[in-house]
Amino acid sequence: MEIRELTCIRCPIGCQLTVTVDGDNVRVEGNNCPRGAEYGAKEVTNPTRTVTSSVRVEGGELPLVSVKTATDIPKDKIFAVMEEIRALTVKAPVHTGDVLIRGVAGTDSDIVATKTVLYTKP
Amino acid sequence: MDRHDLIIIGGGPAGLAAALSARENGIEDILILERDVRLGGILNQCIHNGFGLHTFKEELTGPEYAERYAKRVIEAGIPYKLNTICADISPDREVTYVNAEEGCVTVKAGAVILAMGCRERPRGALGLPGFRQAGVYTAGTAQRLMNIEGYLVGKEVVILGSGDIGLIMARRMTLEGAKVKVVAELMPYSGGLKRNIVQCLDDFNIPLRLSHTVTRVHGKERVEGVTISEVGADRRPIPGTEEFYSCDTLLLSCGLLPENELSKSAGVRLSRVTGGAEVNESLETSVPGVFSCGNVLHVHDLVDYVSEEASRAGKNAAAFIKAGGMRERGRVITLKGEGGVRYTVPQTIDPKNMEDKLTVRFRVGDVYKGKSLAVYYNGVEVRRVRKRVMAPGEMEELVITRASIPEDTDEIIIRVED
Amino acid sequence: MKVNEYDVAVIGAGVTGSAIARYLARYELKTVVLEKEEDVSSGTTKANSGIVHAGFDAAPGSMMAKMNVKGCAMIKELSKTLDFPYRNNGSMVLCFDEAEIPNLKALYERGITNGVKELKLLTGDEARAMEPAISDAVVAALWAPTAGIVCPFSLCIALAENAADNGVEFKFLTEVENIEKTAEGFRISTNNGEITANTVVNAAGVYADKIHNMVSADKLTITPRRGEYVLMDKEVGDLVSATIFQLPGKLGKGVLVTPTAHGNLLVGPNAQDLDDKEDTETTQAGMDDIKKRALLSVPGVPYNKMITSFAGLRAHEARHDFILGEVSDCEGFFDAAGIESPGLTSAPAIGEYMADMIAEKLSAKQKENFNPERKGFIEVAKLPREERARLIKERPEYGRIVCRCENISEGEILDAINRTLGARSLDGVKRRVRQGMGRCQAGFCTPRTMELLARELKIPMTEVRKNRPGSELLKG
């Protein structure tokens, strides 16, 4: 049996949750609404995050293009995702929404550009 | 001298939303002055997600949020000048700007919208003792160097202040391989959003020390460490609580200050509490035809509220221009925060020019749990709203309806009460 | 004596060394200035009150009194020939206690003896009529209209640039490790090679004892005496017009409240004797102390407008007088030591005095083509509209504003880097053209200025420094 203390972030109230995991059985206490229960359960069973970072651009009007994971990825994959992002260099132009890495770090999420970086003006 | 109906100072989220709204309300001749290389302002360096939940009902990163507005401005054909700094605004709305292409130009404006944003409180203003070594950065400067230029300012980091940019940078630097050792916060509560504390600190086991501050910055040439001390209720360091943290970088996230030097040159009266202009229901400053919105008016927690507020400023500026720069003013109702409510925006209401519903925004001065917000018209309580929790880091709002204000009202007060 | 590389080696490029170099440049002499830091104006000169003292404070007959009164007049003139910011704002010494009025009068008498012109004793009300912000507790004051304020680094940079433009060589990051008297003159060992010179001038500030003691048996001790300051925004720079001193008394020497030459408001300094000659660290206790004491003079100092704090070291010698001249047991070695307040005011007078003395020693002739003039940095935002427009048309970089608080353009930053003795670091740029000196303290303009430094100096961004080596700004 595992007990975790969490702060719910689904709204600004920030309820202090106590989540008890006992095999398949997850119990959330301290929440004031169903969203808190859902958050607490997800955080202990399958926590996910969006990762945002930036990627080097060659020949662009800016040296970097900002990127994100198109969907949330498992929390324990954050650093693996970062490693792939850091290894990448792309060529200008890059447009918002362009997929720069497909299925990053073995997840089914893509790395997409969140900024448009055009060629350097001659 | 050239003339434009509306000149907007700043092409960040506030300026862009104001421009779009003014155009939607019939103003053709608009000019946006932006000092940076692209539209979007500080959002371009805020590459994290969490923007736009209210405006677009989806979670965007800063650059995406900025681009949506910038695209609409470009599609609407609203003229803007990049790399252009506004040097002066005169009380009769003559705007002087400087750029490399045109030099120094003065243009006349039918109305002006101030949307210059804010800046960070620097080390000097905090009076941090120590040498003037390299390695002390405001969080936003470090963010720019990292997210726009691609440089890491340090490898072992202590952060003073738990404002949102500091929290975001704690995560960002951790992801880039730096070790963030601790975040110290002078107040007994964080100034940042809860979600950022969880996702930027808790996720990476970065400790947040509340009621702590930096009492010495070590190192002559470069930061070599900091001493952190606990502070008492008077926020003064408690002798004997000093702890040394070795680090090469100190990031400061100790508050944002509306950047109102230009407003002053225009003669705009500023609030001592917000550092921004005092405005009426139309977000018009003490100088007729000069409007203010976004972080230059008061520091917001969410960009969505900046956009919403700026849209109102754009609409009201449009009304002012269409009325030929002369608007009939009725009587003035003073709007005030008291007993825990630090300020209100706007500060005055003219019921004649007020829309049916007016959103009043404000911040509280402490963390309040299970308290109420009470609204008084001329000393008579007219409303009471129970709030589970209110904190200084998060903006509050109340809607006041025109219909609810009796004829003889001259003062509206909002208070925190039991 | 022509076997040596140089006629004169000046050690130290602070305001004293730079002034000596500038006045030496008037002679047919080959002069080098050795500076251990990466720029001029990096020690005592960079952190002081910036006051041009009238000269009533120094003991009559002392070198200090002589150099001060002369320097005060010289700086006013030099501000035109060398084009640096100076304001003749006058100074006022406040007296808070009837019982101490005799001391104020004694100060007045001393000033008259020293040759200070236009001194005047005021009643408390007369003083308040001139300076409405001063305390109601003031019972009398001494008014010295000849006093002024100057930007200390601008003065030092102007002197050094003018010296360099007239042929003086400057070697930076060159720390003197040993000086040996030879038959022909001096052999100076540094971390940057060996130099030989016929004569040596010791203008090493807090290190003047170390340099002096390398050649003389008559040992010198210089105590670094730290002074802390707090600086307020320009918005409140006109709170007082004159420099406001406190009459030294029961509460010690007192702190000053003054506008600066650039229009900020400055409060400080305290005085603390230290062992460490590099200890320019500010302390909470020190800042609290000066802030409190300044309120005695001006009760309304708005500390919420504080933009920075800093500390500097004075080069204090026990006799409390300037030591100017050839060292008795080492011919050809000259001291300009013990230069503490009023050292900044006295610098031009010391420079002229020392240079003439050395020129006489070396029987040097006046240079025919000495150019005494130097143009200051262009301040684009202060130019008349048409001139600014014309300049931007010619050089568009003057239209690209980098520092928003002080309105400094890319062109001005490039000037700071590229002209004679140009800036090599962020602080170097800041001291020349005030980039980053404003209320945001370089929050916005640091990245762009770093890029310009990297580009112009042809170094990678990771090598851009705040000031001396070790102060690199980036870690990757």
> Does one domain contain both B250 and B273?
no
Q: Within the 224-253 window of chain C, which residues sit less than 8 Å (CB to CB) from chain B?
A: 230-231
| Residue A117 near residue A100, CB atoms below 8 Å | no
The whole-number average pLDDT for the span B231-235 is 94
Contacts with C466 from chain B: Cβ below 8 Å = 133-134, 221
Q: Which residues contact C9 (CB under 8 A, 6 or more apart)?
A: C31, C32, C33, C34, C186, C188, C195, C197, C199, C200, C201
| Residue predicted with more confidence, B115 or B339 | B115
| Residue C266 near residue C49, CB atoms below 8 Å | yes
The predicted-structure confidence for A49-104, as pLDDT tens digits, reads as follows 999 999 999 999 999 999 999 999 999 999 999 999 999 999 999 999 999 999 99
Contacts with B122 from chain C: Cβ below 8 Å = 307-308, 439-443
The predicted-structure confidence for B291-308, as pLDDT tens digits, reads as follows 999 999 999 999 999 999
3 state SS of B330: coil
Measure the CA–CA gap between B277 and B264, rounded to whole angstroms: 9
> Does one domain contain both B215 and B261?
no
Instruction: Return the pLDDT at B399.
Output: 95
Cβ distance of B104 and C310 shorter than 8 Å: no
Measure the CA–CA gap between C108 and C111, rounded to whole angstroms: 5
Residue C447 sits at the chain B interface (C-beta within 8 Å):
yes
| Residue C54 near residue C72, CB atoms below 8 Å | yes
Q: Which helix (H) or strand (E) holds B16?
A: helix B13-24
What's the half-sphere exposure (Cβ side, CA atoms, 13 Å) at C2? 2
> Does one domain contain both B412 and B363?
yes
Rounded to a whole number, what is the distance in Å from the CA of B131 to chain A's nearest CA?
Answer: 33
> Does one domain contain both B21 and B94?
yes
**Domains of chain A as residue ranges with CATH:** 2-46 (no CATH), 52-113 (3.10.530.10)
In this complex, does chain C touch chain A, defined as having at least 3 beta-carbon pairs under 8 Å apart? Answer: no
- CA nearest C440 in B: which residue? B122
| Share above pLDDT 70 across residues of chain B, in percent, rounded to a whole number | 100
Cβ distance of B141 and C462 shorter than 8 Å: no
Task: State phi, psi for B79 to the nearest 5 degrees.
Answer: -70, 145
Q: Which tokens is B322 given?
A: 């269409």
> Does one domain contain both B249 and B273?
no
Active-site choice (C53, C212, C262, C316): C53
Last residue within a domain, chosen from B202, B228, B254:
B254
Residue B233 sits at the chain A interface (C-beta within 8 Å):
no
Q: Which helix (H) or strand (E) holds C21?
A: helix C15-24
Cβ distance of B141 and C469 shorter than 8 Å: no
Residue A120 has pLDDT above 90, yes or no: no
Domain count, chain B: 3
Instruction: Return the pLDDT at C251.
Output: 58
Q: In 3D, which of C338, C333, C41 has the Cα closest to residue C161?
A: C41
| Residue A96 near residue B64, CB atoms below 8 Å | yes
Of B100, B124, B249, the CB nearest to C308: B124
Of A52, A61, A64, the CB nearest to B48: A52
Last residue within a domain, chosen from B189, B219, B254:
B254
3 state SS of C23: helix
Burial class (CB in 10 A: 0-12, 13-18, 19+), B278: buried
- CA nearest B394 in A: which residue? A12
Cβ distance of C469 and B153 shorter than 8 Å: no
For C404-468, the DSSP string reads TTTTEEHHHHHHHHHSTT---SHHHHHHHH-TT-STTTTTTTHHHHHHHHHHHHT--GGG-BSSS
| Residue B252 near residue B160, CB atoms below 8 Å | yes
Measure the CA–CA gap between B124 and C440, rounded to whole angstroms: 9
Measure the CA–CA gap between B298 and B283, rounded to whole angstroms: 11
3 state SS of B141: helix
> Does one domain contain both B60 and B87?
yes
The neighbour count for residue B256, using CB atoms within 10 Å, is 22
> Does one domain contain both B292 and B259?
yes
Phi-psi region of B127 (alpha: psi -120 to 50; beta: other; left: phi over 0): left
Cβ distance of C396 and B101 shorter than 8 Å: yes
Cβ distance of A52 and B198 shorter than 8 Å: no
Q: In 3D, which of B258, B272, B235 has the Cα closest to residue B347?
A: B272
- CA nearest B131 in C: which residue? C281
Contacts with A61 from chain B: Cβ below 8 Å = 37
Q: C266: which strand partners?
A: C231, C258
Task: State phi, psi for A110 to the nearest 5 degrees.
Answer: -100, 155
Measure the CA–CA gap between C148 and C469, rounded to whole angstroms: 35
Instruction: Return the pLDDT at B338.
Output: 94
Measure the CA–CA gap between C118 and C136, rounded to whole angstroms: 25
| Residue C42 near residue C35, CB atoms below 8 Å | yes
Last residue within a domain, chosen from B302, B327, B352:
B327
Burial class (CB in 10 A: 0-12, 13-18, 19+), A29: middle
Q: Which helix (H) or strand (E) holds C224?
A: strand C222-232
| Residue B119 near residue C436, CB atoms below 8 Å | no
> Does one domain contain both B48 and B110?
yes
Contacts with B238 from chain C: Cβ below 8 Å = none
> Does one domain contain both B293 and B351?
no
The predicted-structure confidence for C135-162, as pLDDT tens digits, reads as follows 999 999 999 999 999 999 999 999 999 9
Q: C17: which strand partners?
A: none
| Residue B197 near residue B168, CB atoms below 8 Å | no
| Residue B14 near residue B115, CB atoms below 8 Å | yes
Instruction: Return the pLDDT at C1.
Output: 46
Q: Which helix (H) or strand (E) holds A19?
A: strand A16-22
Q: In 3D, which of B119, B156, B111 has the Cα closest to residue B139?
A: B119
Of B35, B100, B124, the CB nearest to C309: B124
Mark whether C53 is an active-site residue: yes
Measure the CA–CA gap between B74 and C381, rounded to whole angstroms: 31
| Residue B191 near residue B198, CB atoms below 8 Å | no
> Does one domain contain both B95 and B196?
no
Measure the CA–CA gap between B231 and C408, rounded to whole angstroms: 39
Contacts with B193 from chain A: Cβ below 8 Å = 12
The whole-number average pLDDT for the span B79-87 is 96
For C360-374, the DSSP string reads HHTTPPBPTT-----
Establish, for the pair of chains A and B, how many residue pairs have beta carbons separated by less than 8 Å.
75
Contacts with B197 from chain A: Cβ below 8 Å = 7
Residues A88, A93, A95, A99, CA torsion sign:
negative
Question: Residues C318-336, buried b or exposed e (16+ Cβ, 10 A)?
Answer: eeebbbbebbeebebbbbb
Measure the CA–CA gap between B147 and A53, rounded to whole angstroms: 8
- What is the identity of the amino acid at B23? R
* Prior bond of A93 cis (ω within 30°): yes
Cβ distance of B198 and A63 shorter than 8 Å: no
The predicted-structure confidence for B331-364, as pLDDT tens digits, reads as follows 899 999 998 999 999 999 999 889 999 999 999 9
- Could you say which DSSP state residue C326 is in? E
The predicted-structure confidence for B152-195, as pLDDT tens digits, reads as follows 999 999 999 999 999 999 999 999 999 999 999 999 998 888 88
Residue B127 has pLDDT above 70, yes or no: yes
Q: Within the 102-141 window of chain B, which residues sit less than 8 Å (CB to CB) from chain C?
A: 102-104, 119-120, 122-125, 127, 129-135, 137-138, 140-141
List the CATH number of the domain containing B166.
Answer: 3.50.50.60
The neighbour count for residue B41, using CB atoms within 10 Å, is 29
Measure the CA–CA gap between C50 and C155, rounded to whole angstroms: 10
Instruction: Return the pLDDT at C438.
Output: 79
Cβ distance of A12 and B391 shorter than 8 Å: yes
3-state secondary structure A26-89: EEEECCCCHHHHHHHHHHHHCCEECCEEEEEEECECCCEEEEEECCCEEHHHHHHHHHHHHHCE
- Could you give the C-alpha distances from C453 to B148, C249, C426, C430, C470, in angstroms and in order? 18, 49, 8, 12, 17
Instruction: Return the pLDDT at C250.
Output: 64
Place of tokens 């916060």: B185
Write out chain C's pLDDT in tens, 476 residues: 457 899 999 999 999 999 999 999 999 999 999 999 999 999 999 999 999 999 999 999 999 999 999 999 999 999 999 999 999 999 999 999 999 999 999 999 999 999 999 999 999 999 999 999 999 999 999 999 999 999 999 999 999 999 999 999 999 999 999 999 999 999 999 999 999 999 999 999 999 999 999 999 999 999 999 999 999 999 999 999 999 999 987 656 789 999 999 999 999 999 999 999 999 999 999 999 999 999 999 999 999 999 999 999 999 999 999 999 999 999 999 999 999 999 999 999 999 999 999 999 999 999 999 999 999 999 999 999 889 999 999 999 999 999 888 889 999 999 999 999 999 999 999 999 988 887 787 888 899 999 999 999 999 999 999 999 999 999 98
| Residue B158 near residue B214, CB atoms below 8 Å | yes
Round to the nearest angstrom and report the end-to-end CA distance of chain C. Answer: 52
| Residue B392 near residue B364, CB atoms below 8 Å | yes
Residue C272 sits at the chain B interface (C-beta within 8 Å):
no
Measure the CA–CA gap between B308 and B14, rounded to whole angstroms: 9
Q: Within the 32-51 window of chain B, which residues sit less than 8 Å (CB to CB) from chain C?
A: 35
Contacts with B42 from chain A: Cβ below 8 Å = none
Q: Which tokens is C467 given?
A: 């000031």
Candidates B39, B51, B64, B204: best to mutate against A (most CBs of A within 10 A) is B64
**Domains of chain C as residue ranges with CATH:** 85-148+223-313 (3.30.9.10), 380-463 (1.10.10)
Question: In degrees to the nearest 10, what's the CA dihedral of B201, B202, B207, B210?
Answer: 80
Instruction: Return the pLDDT at C2.
Output: 55
- Assembly ipTM: 0.92
| Residue C39 near residue C170, CB atoms below 8 Å | no
The predicted-structure confidence for C278-306, as pLDDT tens digits, reads as follows 999 999 999 999 999 999 999 999 999 99
Rounded to a whole number, what is the distance in Å from the CA of B390 to chain A's nearest CA?
Answer: 8
> Does one domain contain both B236 and B320?
no
Residue B59 sits at the chain A interface (C-beta within 8 Å):
yes
Place of tokens 């060292």: C327
Q: C335: which strand partners?
A: C202, C325
Write down the mean pLDDT value for chain C: 95
Contacts with C390 from chain B: Cβ below 8 Å = 103
The predicted-structure confidence for C162-214, as pLDDT tens digits, reads as follows 999 999 999 999 999 999 999 999 999 999 999 999 999 999 999 999 999 99
- CA nearest A70 in B: which residue? B60
Residue B147 sits at the chain A interface (C-beta within 8 Å):
yes
Of A14, A32, A54, the CB nearest to B47: A54
Residues B279, B281, B284, B286, CA torsion sign:
negative
> Does one domain contain both B224 and B182?
yes
Domain that holds residue B134: 122-254
Rounded to a whole number, what is the distance in Å from the CA of B291 to chain A's nearest CA?
Answer: 30
